[in-house]
Chains A and B, each alone.
Chain A
Amino acid sequence: MERKIKYSFTLPALILIGIIVAFPITYNLFMSMNSWFVASGKGAEWVGLKNYINLITDLRFWNSLKVTFLFSFGALVAEIVIGTSLALFLNREFKGKSIVKLIFLFPIAATPVAVSLIWGMMYNYDLGIINIILESLGLDPLLWLASPKMVIPALIITDTWQWTPLILLIVLANLESLPTDPFESAKVDGANILQVIWHITLPLVKPAIVVAAMIRSIDAIKTFDMIYVMTQGGPDIASENLNLYIFQTGFSYFRMGAASSLAIVLFTIVLVFNVFLAIIRNSGDK
């Protein structure tokens, strides 16, 4: 009886999840071992691991891996460093603190397509506000999204703008919940502020930073909306990350088997990175 009740709560959701989530994952795995060019009119054909083997010599795949890595790594580091620093700075009582927190929630909630659209305009060579500011400071305007060299830094800046607040607010919430005793005794011991931050505060908030990094990395490695709206992977393929390459393979070239195998690779990267972060998080708990 107890068992029956136990599952009557979860079973409906589990069945629905089985249909909408587990089915496509399984199908995706199966498709990754098929060759299926949708437009050919023929059905899928079993090819085993051929799609995966083909990737080894696929230069566009390696380029997309490089873009994925550069973009995610750059964005993650910038967001963690800036977010944590700002959280440390804002970790005190002051008037208007709740308004400041609310302001930092806005970028997180804003529609990525809209944010990317606005940043695309701000990066415009002739009329964009960013080049206008650079020129007013006596600097040369930059090509930003139109330059193969600057496009990834530009995308990182936009991502950092949108997602640093998430890291900031997670770390700040954690800081506010810390007991004050270790800080008081450190002050008595004559430690200066940087010593306190480095030796006491940061180790205490490390788990929160790792959790924030996990949440952020899952989405950063899989970024699609922002890059697709701002550059569509361009110029040429300079900003085409793995997720965009999968999209093009599947929905521009209609090679569903190849796209599925790429998707499995992307999933594996996200999973491995998160297992790695989980190990870091648990390493301090001994």
Chain B
Amino acid sequence: MKKLKQFAFYISVILICLIPVFVFLWMFMTGLKTQADNLSIPPKIIFTPTLNNFRDVFGQGNFLKYLVNSAIVATFSVIIALLFGLPAAYGIAKYKMKKIGLALLVARMVPFISYLIPWFIVFRSLRLIDSYLALITTHLIITLPFVIWIMVNFFEGIPSSLEEAARVDGCTVFQAFTKILLPVVRNGIFTAAVLSFIFSWNQFLFSLILSGNETMTVPVAVFQFISYEEINWGGLSAAASVITIPPLIMTVFIQKYMIKGLTSGAVKG
């Protein structure tokens, strides 16, 4: 009886997990099928996979360039967010500046479009639409507050005795911060960096308006594919797979802290 119950439990767990898995599987499968296979009814579960769609995605247009653009924008908006956000988070945690955290939470409730309209007007008059500067600036609106939230959480977890010991040993406040405290919160820094990277990578609205042929990021490029390639499901799915794979792989590395990271900021305040 107990065995049977356990068996039923595992079957249900597998069925539950199939719901998220199915959509990704469907995406990869459609990307690996020929057009004829994709149009056949009933859908073919067994088929000869082909990499043609992926080859076409990289072969046509500038998809590779758009991937590089996405990587550049995400990397810089993460690095700048860390440079400014790490000390700020430490200051907020150490000196208990709770109001700043609350203000950042309210800023998160502001629709992206409220940021986009003013920045669009500014960058348009500076002729900086379709520049990395415009994209990185706006992506920082997401990454910087986010890094601060996560890191405030992690810095608050450090006992103050650790820093005091460093100060007794002759470290300045700044040395204690860089040499003692930052290494202790490296898991937090890694989580904050990876999640911010994913947010920037996935960002669509800012890039839709502020990028152009030169700086187009992959979500915008894939969106534009949709209008051209209405029925080329293989090509569309291959492109969708290519943008989705990096965030999925990154998730594996931060799985332990990801939920903690995503909820920080809202937990207090």
Question: Which residues of A pack against B, CB within 8 Å?
Answer: 5-10, 12-14, 16-17, 20-21, 23-25, 27-28, 31, 86, 89-90, 94, 96, 98, 100-115, 117-122, 127, 129, 132, 136, 161, 165-166, 169-170, 173, 211-212, 214-215, 218, 222, 224-225, 228-229, 243, 246-247, 250-251, 256, 259-260, 263-264, 266-267, 270-271, 274, 278
Contact = CB atoms under 8 A, between A and B. Distances in A.
Contact of A20 (B27, B39, B112, B140): B140
20 contacts: A7-B91, A8-B91, A9-B90, A10-B88, A10-B92, A10-B97, A17-B144, A20-B140, A20-B141, A94-B10, A100-B16, A104-B17, A105-B259, A106-B248, A111-B202, A114-B243, A117-B240, A215-B266, A218-B108, A243-B111
Interface in B58-75: none
Interface in B236-261: 236-237, 240-241, 243-244, 247-248, 250-252, 255, 258-260
Given A20-B141, A111-B202, A250-B113, A118 B23 contact: yes
A104 B258 CA distance: 11
Of the four ranges (under 10, 10 to 19, 20 to 34, 35 or more), the interface on chain B belongs to: 35 or more
A5 B176 CA distance: 13
Contact of B117 (A28, A104, A169): A28
Contacts of A169: 259
Contact of B87 (A13, A31, A107, A228): A13
Contacts, number: 242
B112 A222 contact: yes
B163 to A, nearest CB: 12
Nearest to B28: A118
A13 B86 CA distance: 9
A270 B233 contact: no
Interface in B144-194: 144-145, 148, 173, 177
Given A110-B248, A127-B41, A214 B140 contact: no
Residue among B113, B236, B237, B258 with most chain A CB within 10 A: B113
The 8 tightest CB contacts between A and B, nearest first, are: A9-B91, A13-B88, A114-B240, A24-B118, A10-B91, A27-B118, A113-B219, A13-B84
A228 B223 CA distance: 10
B43 A222 contact: no
Given A118-B240, A271-B109, A215 B263 contact: yes
Contacts of A108: 251, 258, 262
Given A114-B244, A224-B205, A278-B269, 14 more contacts: A12-B84, A13-B148, A20-B144, A21-B145, A24-B117, A25-B114, A102-B252, A110-B24, A113-B222, A113-B243, A115-B23, A119-B23, A121-B236, A212-B263
A274 B240 CA distance: 33
A246 B144 contact: no
A16 to B, nearest CB: 5
A214 B198 CA distance: 21
B9 interface: yes
Given A94-B13, A117-B226, A21 B107 contact: yes
